[in-house]
Structures are given as structure tokens and as C-alpha cells.
Amino acid sequence: MRSDQVKKGVTRAPHRSLFKAMGYTDQELNRPLIGVANSFNEIIPGHIHLRTIAEAVKAGIRMAGGTPIEFGVIGVCDGIAMGHEGMKYSLASRELIADSIEAMTSAHAFDGLVLIPNCDKIVPGMLMAAGRLNIPSLVLSGGPMLAGELNGNQIDLNSVFEGVGAEAAGKITPEELAEIEERACPGCGSCSGMFTANTMNCLTEALGMALPGNGTIPAVDARRLRLAKRAGYQIIELIKAELKPGEILTKEAFTNALAVDMAIGGSTNTILHLPAIAHELGINLDLNEINRLSAQVPHLCHLRPAGLHHIQDLDAAGGIPALLATLAEQNLINLSSRTVTGQSIGENIKGLKKQEQEVIRPLNNPYHKRGGLAVLFGALAPDGAVVKQSAVDPAMLVHQGPARVFDQEEAAISAILNGEINPGDVIVIRYEGPKGGPGMREMLSPTSAIAGMGLDRQVALITDGRFSGASRGASIGHVSPEAATGGPIALVCEGDLIQINIPAQSLDLLVDQAELEKRKAHWQQPAPKVTRGYLGRYAKLVKSANTGAIIDV
């Protein structure tokens, strides 16, 4: 076993002595040592219950004859970090998570890993570590939050963000906003729509790195604890079979994940995370692959923020296994891809019967014929920009309007809430990319304010930053190259006409080339916003959004 490096032989007597100082017995040390990477903390609702989940995982490991060894992993709450300087740390924390798991696992020679995340950057960070380390590993998330309820209607965190815009527009009273605030998030779990956390937990199933049910069983459901015990048991089976992430996370697995992403209308952040995970395996995910799959795989699940359903509804409809079975009807999934069950995806879903017809639509009656995401190219985004097209009102799929230019998110939010944005405007928020931010801040506050004020059918927002999975409307992010490196978005002036054509996958700045070259000649690269600490190092090393904002040194 890999752990023999720290526990076998005469020369490892000092190592064993240190284990015994913690109460480990010889019997425990003779078993496989399983790292349990637990991202529990008291600042993320999706993580507040992970001690309980971890105990169930450890019980499963012991039942199977292994010895669990738990260690902590950091996590940032995107919702609490939203709209201020704290959001600069969210995407950047993904690299810290992967690096810290690498350090703990390699330093202590664990035989296998059970990774316990739940929210936004923690899930991909852990998957990156699994791919990099390539020892038997699986992911067991903490599960989604239930939707809140108010006046007989389901609500969620997005309802609160949009409520801020509605209150500013005089559509609801401060007292009504306070009531939404009280009821939107009824308990633990990852926020209840198809936002980034739940998208990534669902895609982890499609990648084959989690047991069926990982993405949709609610956090408060006892099935989640039973799944955690099975995950603990299964990691020992993976060690016996010597089944490693490198055999699971193949190019076909990533294609499967992208196909599921199209069908569920997932978060645009997946177009940062999947390429970054693939990079750890030496696999290149071309952004053009997203448009190819979008043309093939229809949008079958219309969940919040754009639709009415929540993750609990998808779970009741059969979850990701039922969706995979639906896609398999027209060979839209590679059924031979291996999974942490020890079986292929095809074997996992064999005999599965799907009855429900609304939460997961049949292939001949999709919500949209094209998949949920699209990558746009053009004069404003030569290397691409990303939009959740399934969350865009049909009236905004093709749009042309004057640019309203802001060099940071706060200035745009102020203009929106002060009524300075007009119908037809195209808001441009720049110098918020991976380097320029630094950290590529997520912009749920401005998109929610626009929606709450009823402007999401009339106003577009374009940024070299990114959006929350909870954002909806014509929100186009990840514009590459970013402004801080001199991309065309840095040259946009107030009033310039911008043309958006999502069906044609284009994003253009309607300014002639001679004028752009003149502006480029006068453009000066701004001084870095942060020069010290982790963010300073991150800004120097991070690559552009179209690569997945990876750090590759």
C-alpha cells in the first residue's frame, strides 16, 4: 500500500509512534489509510453540516476495513463574499484548495481520498486535486438546500438578490424584502437552484467521480447520510480494484459532463472549472466543443434561476441518472465511461425507467432545442465569452445597444440602483478578469438588480469577470482577452454600439478598425490592484478565462 511509506518497517518506528500519540492502534495502521478532506466551516450554509457527513463517510470506511484520517479544507461562501472585495478570493481559492489537498495527501502518503465539498469553488478544487494526485478518490457532496416558501411560492437566495432591485424600483416594500430574506434559505445545503455549486455536484456524477445521487439528494434527507456511508465503503473497493481518477476522467467523461451541462442549463462557471480539471489530466477542452455540443444536446431541465423548478424537484424526477438515461436514448452520452461505482455509466443506468415528463423533458419536447450554454466570438471577444443562453429572454437573444462603461463592479451597481441605466443599454464592466480583478469577481448583485428592476428583457451586461450560477438575463462573461491585458473590451468607449447575436454565437464592437488601433496606441496597462499576499501572486500567475483561469507554471 502507498501508506506503507509512513508505517512499515523498523525505520518507520518514529512515524508509528506519532500515530500512536493520536490514539491509532496497530490494527488501524495495518489497514488502508484514507484521507477524508472535509471542507466544513461555519461561514458557508452548504458546509455547516459537513461534520455529520464526514462522520458517516468515516463509518463507511471503517465498515469496509479502512482507517479514515480527516483533515480540513478551506472554503469561501460566494454569497457572503458577493458585491465587495471579498469576491476577489473566491475563484482564487480554487487553486489553494487543490494545492492544500495535494500537500496533505502527498506528505502523509494516503492510500485513497474521499473529498467532501459542497459549494462553488470547493468542488472543482477538489476534483483538480484528485486528477493531479491520481490515487483512488471519490467525491461526496453535502447536498442541496431545500427551497424556501413564501405565500405558497418557492423562493431561494436569488429571490433575495432580485428583491434588492425590486425594492430599489419601488416594486416591493422594505418589509416585504425582509420577509423574503427570512424565508429564502430554510437550512443547510448548497443554494437550491441550478447555480454553480449544484451544477458542479451534478456534473461530478456525469464525470464518474461521484456515486449516483451526489448532485441532487437534499442535504437534510437521510438518504444523504446513507450515500455518505456508501461512499466511505466504496473508496476501499476502488483501492482493491486500483481504479484511479486517470481511468475515469477521460476525454469522453468530460464530453459527458458537458452534455449534461447543456441539458440542465448549468452555470457559466463550469466553463472555467471543467477545463481546469481537464488540464490536470493533460486534456485540452476547446471552447468550440461547447457550441458543438450545444447544437446536439437540447435543454431538458429548466431550473432556477431561469425556470421554476429547484434541485429537490430534479431529485424527485430521478436526478442525474434519469437525465443520463434520457440522453442515452439518442446516443448523446458515452455509456462505456467508467465511474467510481466500479461500473460504467451504461451499467449504472441499465433498466432505469423514467416516468416524469416535466422536470426532465423528453428529447422530443425540450425546453429549448439548443443546450443551456453558448460561447460567443467576435471583435469584442476574439478568444471567446460565455453566456447561459437558456436563461436569456428571447427578446434579448439578438440585441444592439450603446455601451455604458464601468471600470469596476461597484460603479455599475450604483448606476443601476440609482436609475441611470436606460432600456436598450449594454452595460460593460471591465478590469474584473482573472488578472485585472484580480480573481474574476462573480456579479450576481448587478444582474439581480437589473432583473429585480424589470430590465432583464431590455438591458445586457458584458464583463471580463464572471457571473453567479444564479444570474439570469443577457449576462455575458469571461470576455477574453480581458481588459487588463489589453483586450478589445479595454478599448470600448461610452456610447459605442455593441452587437450581440447569441444564436449566431457572436459578440461584436461596432467600431472601425482604424479607430480601435488609435485607441490601442493610447491605451496604457493599469497598475495591478493588488501586489502583495496570495492575490498578488495569483494575479501574476493566472491565465485568461478561456483557459479555465488556470495557473500553469
| Cis amide leading into 32 (omega within 30) | no
Q: What is the pLDDT of residue 448?
A: 87
Whole-angstrom Cα distance, residue 274 to residue 262? 13
d(CA 458, CA 396): 7
Are 59 and 234 spatial neighbours (Cβ–Cβ below 8 Å)?
A: no
Extract the C-alpha cell encoding 330.
Answer: 439518442
- By three-state DSSP, how is residue 551 classified? strand
Please give the grid coordinates belonging to residue 157.
437566495
Q: Which of 468, 471, 475, 480 is catalytic?
A: 468
Q: Is the pLDDT of residue 356 over 80?
A: no
Handedness of CA 267, 272, 278, 280 (dihedral sign): negative
Peptide bond into 212 cis (omega under 30): no
Q: What is the pLDDT of residue 353?
A: 78
The pLDDT, as a whole number, for residue 472 is 85
* Percent with pLDDT over 70 in the chain: 100
Which of 266, 140, 114 has its CA nearest to residue 200?
A: 266
Contact 172, 155 (CB under 8 A): no
What is the mean predicted confidence (pLDDT) over 5-27? Answer: 98
User: In terms of Cα–Cα distance, which of 76, 73, 166 is closest to 448?
Assistant: 166
pLDDT band at 520 (very low <50, low <70, confident <90, very high): very high
Question: What is the rounded CA–CA span in Å between residue 64 and residue 279?
Answer: 33
Angle between the N-to-C axes of helices 196-207 and 319-328, in degrees from 0 to 180, rounded to the nearest 10: 60
Catalytic (active site) residue 468 = yes
Q: Is 224's pLDDT higher than 90?
A: yes
The answer to whether residues 455 and 393 touch, using CB atoms and an 8 Å cutoff, is no
What's residue 441's pLDDT? 93
First to last CA, the chain: 31
Grade residue 250 by pLDDT with cuts at 50, 70 and 90. very high
Per-residue pLDDT, 14:
98
DSSP state of 352: -
Residue where the block lists cell 473497493: 237
Rounded Cα distance, 535 and 267, in Å = 24
pLDDT tens digits, one per residue of 47-67: 999 999 999 999 999 999 999
Residue 235 has pLDDT above 90, yes or no: yes
Give the pLDDT band (50/70/90) at residue 374: very high
DSSP letters of 119-179? Answer: STTHHHHHHHHHHHH-SSEEE----BPPPEEETTEEE-HHHHHHHHHHHHTTSS-HHHHHH
Q: How confident is the model at residue 411 (pLDDT cuts 50, 70, 90)?
A: very high
Instruction: Give CA–CA dist 26/23, Å, rounded.
Output: 10
- Of 218-227, 281-290, 353-362, 432-441, least confident by mean pLDDT is 353-362
Question: Which residue type does 58 have?
Answer: K
pLDDT digits (tens, 9 = 90+) for 91-135: 999 999 999 999 999 999 999 999 999 999 999 999 999 999 999
Tell me which H or E stretch contains 95: helix 88-108
Task: Say if CB 116 and CB 54 are below 8 A apart.
Answer: yes
Is it the case that residue 407 has pLDDT exceeding 90?
yes
Q: How would DSSP label each residue in 275-306? A: HHHHHHTT----HHHHHHHHHHS-B---BTTT
Condensed to tens digits (0 to 9), the pLDDT of residues 477-487 reads 999 999 999 99
Confidence of residue 206 (pLDDT cuts 50, 70, 90): very high
Least confident of 85-99, 226-240, 331-345, 354-368: 354-368
Q: What burial class does residue 166 get, using C-beta atoms within 10 Å of its C-beta: 0-12 exposed, 13-18 middle, 19+ buried?
A: buried
Specify the pLDDT at position 245.
Answer: 98
Question: Average pLDDT of 430-453?
Answer: 92
Q: Give the span between the Cα atoms of 53 and 224, in whole angstroms.
A: 8
Nearest-angstrom CA–CA distance, 302 and 290: 19
CB atoms near residue 349 (< 10 Å): 23
- The answer to whether the pTM exceeds 0.75 is yes
Residue 83 has pLDDT above 90, yes or no: no
Kindly indicate the confidence band of residue 451, based on its pLDDT and cuts at 50, 70 and 90. Answer: confident
pLDDT for res 518: 97
